[in-house]
C-alpha cells in the first residue's frame, strides 16, 4: 500500500470514528468572529481614536489628550529572528478545547490564547507562529485531529532556527513533527503531552481513554546523548506553562539552541527536576524543582503492599516512582475483561480521600472554602478538576501477554498488537502500571480499588463478574509501592 493510499484509509477510519462518536458527544456550536467572547477576531487592521476627557474603563482616569491607536499593524523585522511554532486544532479560542471549560479558567488570563504568550516572547526577540490545523478556527477544510498536513518550510524573516512549544495537544504534535526531523527544527519543548497516541489516549491499556500519560516513557526513549530536560511540576499544565519561572527557563533553553547562546548555562543545568505533591491541603508546601540525577530514582526500594487492598503507612515516607498493581483475575462468564485501577490516600477517622490543588490560587477566602470542601468531601462534583486525588490506570487483560521494548523493570508496557482471550475458569496474573505519585504521611491509609467503571466504549469487554484471587506469596495480588 502506498503512502497516499495508507493516508486515505486512515482518513476514512477517522470519519468512521467521528460518526460513531457523535452518539456520545455533544458538539459545541460555532461562534462567529464578531462574537465578543472571541479572543482573536483575525488580523483586521483598524484605527481607534480616543478623545481627550474620555473614560476608557470604569473608575479609570480620564484621558488628558487625544489618543490614536493603530491596531494589528504589520511589523517588518529589522533582523533575522528565530521562530517558535505552536500547532493545534484548538483554535485561537474556538475548537476542541477552551479554557472556559476549566475552573477559574485554569488561572490563565482571558487575553491569552492557547499557546505561548506573545507579549513575553516578542520582547525576547522571537516570532510566534500560532497555526490552526486544517478546519480549525478560520482555517479552511475538514477538521482532522490526527494526520499529515503540509506547511510552508521557510520564511524570509526567519534565521533558519525553529522551536516547537506548547502543552497538551500542542505538545502531542511536537513529538510527531520532531520524529520527521524537518529542516530548521532546532529544539522542541512538549509541556506535558502524550507521545504514543495509541497507548496514551486512543486505547490506554488496550481500552478506551480516561486520561493521558507518556511523558516519562518518551524521556526514556530519547538517547542520553541528546540534550534534554525532564521537568515534573506541581500544578496543572496551563498555569505552569504560563508561569514566569517557566517562561524564563524555556527562554534560556531556546536561546541556547535557536540563538546559539551555548554559554548561557542551560547545558549544565540538572536534567531531571521533580515536584513531589504533599496531599491533604495541610498547609505544607509541595517539594518543587528538586534536582535528581536519574529517573526512576536509583535509590528506590519496591515493597509489596497488603493483599487486603488497604495499606497502613507506618511512618512518613516518600513514594516517588512508578506504582505497579499485580492482580490474579478471573472472569467466569466472559473471555475478556477490562481492569480500572485507582490508588488514593485516606486520612482521619472517617477515611476521607486526600487531594492536592492543581492550580495555585491567591485568594485566601477561596482557598479556605476549597479546604472546607476537601476536608468534608462535599460539593466536589463542581470543583473536581481543581484537585488531584489518585493514581489511576486501566488495562484490557487479553492484551497483557507480550511486553513492548518500552517496558522497564516494575513498569510494564504492553504491545497491544494481539489478544489472548481468557479461557473458562482461567486465573491470569497481570501487572498494571500506575502513574508516579506523591508523599504519604504516617498513619495514612493507602487504598487500592478496582471500581469496574469505564467511559462509553465502541467495543467494551467490561461485562460479567470479575474475581480477584489472593493466591500464594509469589503470585499474590498486591500493590507494589516505590519507597525512595
pLDDT of residue 2: 56
Backbone angles phi, psi at 191, to 5 degrees: -95, 85
- Selection from 40-54, 116-130, 397-411 with the highest mean pLDDT: 116-130
C-alpha span between 337 and 397 (Å, rounded): 6
Higher pLDDT, 283 or 289: 289
Number of alpha carbons in the 13 Å side-chain half-sphere of residue 89: 15
Q: Mean pLDDT over all residues of the chain?
A: 78
Q: What is the pLDDT of residue 66?
A: 93
Q: What is the pLDDT of residue 456?
A: 44
pLDDT (mean) for 43-61: 86
Q: Please tell me the distance from the alpha carbon of residue 181 to that of residue 108, in angstroms, as a whole number.
A: 32
Q: What is the mean pLDDT of residues 89-108?
A: 64
The answer to whether residue 457 scores a pLDDT higher than 50 is no
- Residue 95 pLDDT > 50, yes or no? no
| Bridge partners, residue 83, by sequence | 127, 162
The predicted pLDDT at position 263 comes to 93
- Low-confidence winner among 6-10, 214-218, 258-262, 478-482 (lowest mean pLDDT): 6-10
Question: Is the confidence at residue 256, as pLDDT, over 50?
Answer: yes
Give the whole-angstrom CA distance, residue 163 versus residue 257. 9
Cα separation of 482 and 437, whole Å? 9
Return d(Cα 135, Cα 11) in angstroms, integer. 14
Q: Beta strand 387-388 with 356-357: parallel, antiparallel or unpaired? A: antiparallel
Residue pair 329/467 in contact by the 8 Å Cβ criterion: yes
For the chain, the structural domain boundaries read 47-269, 301-354+389-483, 356-385
Tens-place pLDDT, residues 207-217: 544 445 677 77
What CA–CA distance (Å, rounded) separates 182 from 199? Answer: 25
At residue 92 the predicted structure's pLDDT band, cuts being 50, 70 and 90, is low
Q: Give one DSSP letter per residue of 111-126, joined into a string.
A: T--SSS-HHHHHHTT-
Query: Which listed CATH number (2.60.40.10, 3.20.20.70, 2.60.120.260, 2.40.40.20) goes with 301-354+389-483?
Result: 2.60.120.260
Say if pTM beats, i.e. exceeds, 0.75: no
The pLDDT of residue 186 is above 90: yes
Q: What is the pLDDT of residue 99?
A: 66
The dotted CATH code for 47-269 is 3.40.50.1820
**Among 260-269, 282-291, 384-393, which range has the highest average pLDDT?**
260-269
> Is the confidence at residue 460, as pLDDT, over 70?
no
Cell of 126: 522571537
pLDDT value of position 19: 72
Question: Which tens digit of pLDDT belongs to each residue from 137-155?
Answer: 777 777 766 666 666 667 8
Q: What are phi and psi of 99, to 5 degrees?
A: -70, -20
Span 189-211, pLDDT tens digits = 988 777 776 666 665 665 544 44
pLDDT tens for 359-393 read 777 778 887 888 888 787 777 655 666 777 777 78
- pLDDT, residue 363, reads 78
pLDDT of residue 149: 64
Q: How far does Cα 362 stand from its chain's mean position?
A: 24
What whole-number distance in Å separates Cα of residue 416 and Cα of residue 406?
12
Amino acid at each position: 500500500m502506498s503512502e497516499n493510499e495508507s493516508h486515505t484509509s486512515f482518513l476514512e477510519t477517522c470519519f468512521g470514528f467521528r460518526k460513531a462518536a457523535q452518539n456520545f458527544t455533544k458538539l459545541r456550536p460555532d461562534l462567529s468572529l464578531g462574537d465578543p467572547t472571541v479572543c482573536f477576531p483575525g488580523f483586521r487592521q483598524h484605527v481607534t481614536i480616543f478623545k481627550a476627557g474620555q473614560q476608557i474603563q470604569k473608575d479609570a482616569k480620564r484621558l488628558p489628550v487625544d489618543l490614536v491607536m493603530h491596531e494589528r499593524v504589520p511589523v517588518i523585522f529589522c533582523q533575522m529572528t528565530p521562530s517558535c511554532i505552536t500547532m493545534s486544532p484548538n483554535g485561537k479560542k474556538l475548537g476542541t478545547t477552551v479554557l472556559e471549560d476549566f475552573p477559574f479558567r485554569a488561572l490563565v488570563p482571558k487575553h491569552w490564547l492557547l499557546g505561548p504568550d506573545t507579549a513575553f516572547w516578542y520582547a525576547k526577540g522571537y516570532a510566534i507562529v500560532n497555526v490552526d490545523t486544517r478546519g480549525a478556527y478560520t482555517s479552511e477544510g475538514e477538521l482532522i485531529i490526527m494526520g499529515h498536513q503540509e506547511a510552508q518550510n521557510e520564511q524570509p524573516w526567519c534565521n533558519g532556527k525553529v522551536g516547537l512549544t506548547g502543552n497538551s495537544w500542542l505538545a502531542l504534535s511536537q513529538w510527531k513533527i520532531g520524529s520527521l526531523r524537518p529542516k530548521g527544527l532546532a529544539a522542541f519543548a512538549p509541556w506535558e503531552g502524550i507521545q504514543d497516541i495509541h497507548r496514551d489516549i486512543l486505547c490506554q491499556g488496550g481500552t478506551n481513554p480516561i486520561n493521558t500519560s507518556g511523558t516519562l516513557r518518551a524521556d526514556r526513549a530519547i538517547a542520553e546523548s541528546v540534550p534534554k530536560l525532564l521537568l515534573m511540576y506541581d500544578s496543572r499544565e496551563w498555569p505552569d506553562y504560563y508561569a514566569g519561572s517557566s517562561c524564563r527557563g524555556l527562554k534560556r533553553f531556546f536561546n541556547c539552541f535557536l540563538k546559539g547562546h551555548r554559554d548561557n548555562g542551560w547545558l549544565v543545568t540538572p536534567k531531571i527536576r521533580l515536584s513531589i505533591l504533599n496531599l491533604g491541603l495541610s498547609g505544607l508546601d509541595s517539594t518543587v524543582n528538586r534536582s535528581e540525577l536519574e529517573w526512576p530514582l536509583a535509590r528506590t526500594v519496591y515493597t509489596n503492599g497488603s493483599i487486603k487492598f488497604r495499606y497502613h503507612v507506618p511512618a512518613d515516607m516518600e513514594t516517588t516512582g512508578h506504582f505497579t498493581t499485580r492482580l490474579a483475575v478471573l472472569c467466569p462468564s466472559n473471555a475478556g475483561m477490562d481492569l480500572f485501577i485507582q490508588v488514593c490516600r485516606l486520612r482521619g477517622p472517617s477515611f476521607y480521600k486526600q487531594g492536592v490543588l492543581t492550580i495555585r490560587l491567591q485568594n485566601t477566602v477561596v482557598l479556605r472554602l476549597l479546604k472546607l470542601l476537601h476536608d468534608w468531601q462535599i460539593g466536589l462534583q463542581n470543583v473536581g478538576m481543581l484537585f488531584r486525588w489518585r493514581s489511576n490506570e486501566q488495562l484490557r487483560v487479553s492484551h497483557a501477554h507480550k511486553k513492548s521494548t518500552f517496558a522497564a523493570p516494575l513498569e510494564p508496557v504492553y504491545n497491544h498488537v494481539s489478544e489472548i482471550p481468557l479461557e473458562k475458569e482461567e486465573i491470569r496474573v497481570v501487572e498494571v502500571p500506575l502513574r508516579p505519585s506523591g508523599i504519604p504521611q504516617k498513619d495514612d491509609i493507602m487504598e487500592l480499588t478496582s471500581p469496574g467503571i469505564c467511559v462509553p466504549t465502541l467495543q467494551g469487554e467490561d461485562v460479567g463478574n470479575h474475581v480477584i484471587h489472593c493466591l500464594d506469596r509469589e503470585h499474590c495480588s498486591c500493590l507494589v509501592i516505590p519507597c525512595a
